[in-house]
Structure 1
Amino acid sequence: MNARRPLVILKTGRKIPALETIAGDYEDWIAAGMGWQPGAVRVIAPDRGEALPAPDTVAGIAITGSGSMVTERADWMLRAADWLGDAVQREVPVLGICFGHQLLAHALGGEVDDNPHGVEVGTVEVSLEDAAAEDPLFSALPTRLWAQLSHRQSVRVLPPGATLLGASEMEAHQGFAFGPRAWGAQFHPEFDERIIPHFVEYYRAILGEQSRCADTLKSMVRPAHESRVLLRRFAEIVREGES
């Protein structure tokens, strides 16, 4: 792509140590899923003090997952949230994934806290709401799809004015839209069946405390190709804005 402005990937965390044998990190998997060339992507790590650009100088924004929790209210999170709120107001295309979904919701006035049902991890079936059929991004997905999940916290209350787009058995807010060009997805469209078993193992002890079997969840891991369409469609939306 020869966009005049870059896609910014807000890198809010790093992969767990068990994934060292798998090449890349959140930002690499997201960019690859979008079909974005490395030279057209700018990766910014706000937790390391890296400066955030003026929103009108970027083509779009994707926010990665993280091992951090939005409820920590770290200074870098508050700074990033203010920046995201400004970007959404300026109608820059924004896609928040997992922690990014939660941070975006917080930035727009939603509430984030621990998932009352516990850890949601593994390959999970997500059901889309009727509103998704009319949404520019989520309409690219089937009404029921498999997706890779790994999270302890959730968007407990959507931002005022947000539209609910999807849910799962353990998560009421798997996806939302806010305004014409901002979206959150609790699931990880950039993860594949190689990655997610490591997150199940990561949560083994906590799952045991919740009387849930990590081995059973690992046996249920399967490809979730349909969820990856979300990344390709978001890239199309960003490119349409640049044309």
Structure 2
Amino acid sequence: MKPFLILQLRPETEAADDEFAALLDKGGIAPERAVRVRLEREALPAGLDLAETAGVIVGGGPGCVSDPPAAKSPEEARIEAACLGLIPEILARDHPYLGCCYGIGILAHAMGGTVAKGRYGEPVGAVTCEVTEEGRRDPLLAGLPERFDAFVGHKEAVEVLPEGAVALLGSAPCPYQMIRAGRNVYATQFHPEADAAVFETRIRVYRDRGYFPPGEADALVAMCRAAEVEVPQRILRRFVERYG
């Protein structure tokens, strides 16, 4: 059975390890079926053949594709270039792809959409997502609740959907919570692997990275613990089951 290629962008080891464990757990991916690449410290595998993978999953991270080049560290620029370099082949092959948070920005930017910080950023916490008409017909969403909560926290977002992409989920603050290109290329603005415990770890790790005032960390943790967030993890598992 082919493995999933999991690309991680988080330079903080605690957050990266926790994200990887959550992707395996919530996605139902056996460890031996995951090829993990932490792009901040290593390059893509030499001679990578996408046809030999079940799909590509791109995790989240503190970088923003919309930042000007001068504002990006060499590490961030290298990570972004590695991810962007895969998208043309993914789209041409219609190869299974699931971009999570940062991954939606990468996909939309590569397709010519507008990704920016001006309109649709969302504070850390749970937001209610609503299935679109197109989403009701999508195999990853069919039969799921029409409205459900998901964990978000992002400075940039897709502002103009690229040609060739369709919106599957939206929220009041952010109209593009989940999109699809072709039949098999997906991306979410929310974090489909995250439950309250996962988000608690990220709140602690990123409390000084500008997502929220550091003094609000305890209140955000309490809010996440009180939220009922489970449908996004079912979407992740459906992706894995469909393509694995």
Shift of 1:92: 1.4
What residue number does 2:166 align with?
A: 163
Query: What are the ranges of 5 or more consecutive residues in structure 1 without an aligned counterpart?
Result: none
Query: Structure 1, residues 211-238: CA drift from partner, whole Å, max 9, x if none?
Result: xx66665443213111110111001111
What residue number does 1:9 align with?
A: 6
Shift of 1:146: 0.9
Query: Structure 1, residues 147-179: CA drift from partner, whole Å, max 9, x if none?
Result: 111211111222211101111122111010100
Aligned residues: 230
Q: 2-side partners of 1:15 and 1:171: how far apart? A: 27
Shift of 1:16: 7.8
Shift of 1:203: 6.6
Query: What are the ranges of 5 or more consecutive residues in structure 2 without an aligned counterpart?
Result: 70-76
Query: Structure 1, residues 83-138: CA drift from partner, whole Å, max 9, x if none?
Result: 12212211211000011121122222222111525442101111111111111223
Q: 1-side partners of 2:121 and 2:58: how far apart? A: 23
- Do residues 40 (structure 1) and 29 (structure 2) align? no
Superposed, 1:67-146 pairs within 5 Å as 67-72=62-67, 74-139=77-142, 141-146=144-149
Deviates more, 1:65-74 or 1:8-17: 8-17
Aligned AA for 1:232?
A: R
TM-score between both structures, scaled by the size of structure 2? 0.83
Give the root-mean-square deviation of aligned CA atoms.
2.6
Closer, same or farther in 2 for the Cα pair 1:136/1:218, shift >3 Å? Answer: same
Q: 1-side partners of 2:195 and 2:78: how far apart? A: 32
The answer (yes or no) to whether the contact 2:124–2:211 under 8 Å persists in 1 is: no
Find the partner of 2:55 among 57, 60, 66: 60
The answer (yes or no) to whether the contact 1:30–1:190 under 8 Å persists in 2 is: yes
Deviates more, 1:109-118 or 1:172-181: 109-118
Q: 1-side partners of 2:234 and 2:86: how far apart? A: 27
What residue number does 1:188 align with?
A: 191
Q: How high is the sequence identity, in percent, across the aligned residues?
A: 28
- Do residues 233 (structure 1) and 238 (structure 2) align? yes
What residue number does 1:150 align with?
A: 153
Shift of 1:79: 3.2
